[in-house]
């Protein structure tokens, strides 16, 4: 009898999940696409987040304020600070993104977001996952470049499906077993694949690597691969090649092979893992930015965490803002401010590895975030 109760509960639970995901798949077929480059006025929201997030976000906002001062004065750009996306506020209301904060976010076209902490043991969803879902930010785009090693990679990670969309919706039989769920939709895969191939076409890249574990995940990952190849047929001249995630992680470390890769498209979990590996190869996770792009909204962020230990030690002021400023470069490109993006990118290069290098250690023996920002503003 106990087993029958468990089976009935599991069936009810799974039925609800499948019903919800069918509805979501239908909604994805209706797309409202905003051309960010054609907007007369762009509202850039700033969410500080947790830990070192407010420190580095504040410095990024200062740099953007200087870089875009003429456009701000002309009314073409508004910098819009948003409070409320803190762990304290989220715990108080019991939501990954409080309703009033989400309403403020939706007033903006693009968001620059500091890292947020996901509280353990509460069952609360990650604020990142919630924001990607609420704004339908389906494409996580991360570039990694190391010119001296001929590395020029761009990763297109599907951002709203896979294990993450149902990460808090598993089924547990206490003392016996637990299940988590993974979902891959046709439309969700098709749109991330098209984003990757469109980028390859626009930038003159010749290959797209489709990274899965389709030999094991024979329903979800096999579907992902098959749909990517369907999309690839619309892009003659661009090679689409399948790779398994395990060997691809090794290939990125292989100095004899890694320069052959250009654009990657991959499901959510694999993308989360391998882009951190790639960022480490490119100089460390503290130096890379990330874009989360949808049809109507876009969010840009540092790829590292909130570093609560730095705050506990009193070292928050020494947090390295490079990653979130690299995210600003991606954001400027996305909204059509290409000249400003190049200026900021060149200034960051000079201040991280060039003639105006600022030494950041995360401790009092290095520069502060504010000092790094001042150096960037001097040379951009």
Cβ atoms of 103 and 65 within 8 Å: the answer is no
Say which residues have a Cβ less than 8 Å from residue 238's Cβ, sequence separation at least 6: 197, 200, 201, 205, 206, 207, 208, 232
pLDDT tens digits, 172-231: 999 999 999 999 999 999 999 999 999 999 999 999 999 999 999 999 999 999 999 999
Task: Please report the pLDDT score of residue 1 as a whole number.
Answer: 54
Question: Rounded to an integer, what distance in angstroms lies between the CA atom of residue 93 and that of residue 99?
Answer: 9
Q: Residue 13: in which H helix or E strand, if any? A: helix 2-27
Cβ atoms of 140 and 156 within 8 Å: the answer is yes
**Nearest Cα to Cα of residue 113 among 266, 331, 312, 263:** 331
Q: How is residue 288 annotated by DSSP?
A: -
Domains of the chain: 33-137+294-380 (3.40.718.10), 145-280 (3.40.718.10)
Alpha-carbon distance values, 170 to 7, 14, 167 (Å): 14, 9, 7
In three-state form (DSSP H/G/I as H, E/B as E, the rest C), the secondary structure along 72-140 is HHCCCEEEEEECCCCHHHHHHHCCCCCHHHHHHHCCCCEEEECCCCCCCCCCCCCHHHHHHHHCCCCEE
Question: Rounded to an integer, what distance in angstroms lies between the CA atom of residue 144 and that of residue 275?
Answer: 9
**Nearest Cα to Cα of residue 128 among 154, 99, 103, 165:** 165
Question: Quick check: pTM over 0.95?
Answer: no
Task: Please report the pLDDT score of residue 267 as a whole number.
Answer: 97
Question: Rounded to an integer, what distance in angstroms lies between the CA atom of residue 258 and that of residue 280?
Answer: 14
> What is the β-pairing status of strands 151-158 and 239-244?
unpaired
Q: Residue 307 corresponds to which tokens in the numbers above? A: 């570093």
Q: Residue 104 corresponds to which tokens in the numbers above? A: 């403020």
| Angle, helices 338-352/322-334, rounded to nearest 10 degrees | 160
Task: Please report the pLDDT score of residue 48 as a whole number.
Answer: 95
Q: Residue 72 corresponds to which tokens in the numbers above? A: 């701000």
Task: Please report the pLDDT score of residue 286 as a whole number.
Answer: 66
Task: Please report the pLDDT score of residue 282 as a whole number.
Answer: 85
Say which residues have a Cβ less than 8 Å from residue 250's Cβ, sequence separation at least 6: none
Residues of the chain with pLDDT under 50: none
């Amino acid at each position: 009898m106990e087993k029958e109760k468990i089976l009935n509960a599991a069936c009810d639970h799974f039925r609800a999940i499948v019903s919800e995901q069918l509805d979501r798949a239908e909604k994805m077929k209706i797309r409202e696409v905003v051309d960010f480059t054609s907007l007369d006025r762009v509202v850039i929201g700033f969410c500080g987040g947790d830990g070192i997030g407010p420190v580095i976000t504040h410095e990024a906002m200062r740099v953007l304020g200087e870089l875009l001062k003429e456009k701000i004065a002309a009314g073409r750009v508004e910098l819009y600070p948003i409070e409320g996306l803190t762990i304290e506020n989220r715990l108080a209301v019991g939501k990954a993104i409080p309703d009033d904060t989400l309403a403020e976010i939706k007033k903006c076209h693009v968001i620059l977001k500091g890292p947020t902490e996901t509280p353990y043991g509460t069952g609360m969803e990650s604020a990142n996952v919630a924001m990607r879902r609420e704004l339908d930010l389906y494409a996580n785009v991360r570039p990694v470049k190391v010119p001296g090693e001929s590395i020029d990679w761009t990763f297109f990670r599907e951002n709203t499906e896979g294990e993450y969309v149902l990460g808090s919706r598993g089924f547990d039989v206490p003392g016996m077993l637990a299940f988590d769920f993974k979902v891959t939709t046709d439309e969700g895969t098709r749109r991330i694949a098209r984003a990757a191939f469109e980028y390859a076409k626009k930038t003159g890249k010749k290959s797209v690597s489709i990274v899965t574990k389709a030999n094991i995940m024979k329903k979800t990952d096999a579907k992902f691969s098959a749909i990517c190849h369907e999309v690839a047929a619309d892009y003659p001249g661009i090679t689409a090649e399948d790779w398994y995630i395990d060997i691809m992680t090794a290939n990125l470390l292989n100095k004899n092979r890694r320069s052959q890769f250009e654009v990657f498209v991959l499901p959510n979990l694999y993308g989360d893992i391998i882009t951190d590996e790639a960022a480490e190869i490119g100089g460390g996770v503290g130096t890379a930015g990330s874009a989360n792009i949808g049809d109507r909204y876009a969010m840009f962020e540092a790829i590292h965490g909130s570093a609560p230990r730095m705050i506990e030690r009193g070292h928050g002021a020494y947090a390295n803002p490079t990653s979130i400023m690299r995210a600003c470069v991606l954001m400027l490109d996305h909204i059509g401010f290409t000249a400003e993006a190049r200026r900021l990118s060149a200034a960051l290069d000079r201040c991280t590895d060039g003639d105006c290098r600022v030494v950041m250690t995360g401790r009092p023996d290095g520069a502060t975030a504010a000092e790094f920002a001042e150096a960037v503003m001097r040379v951009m």
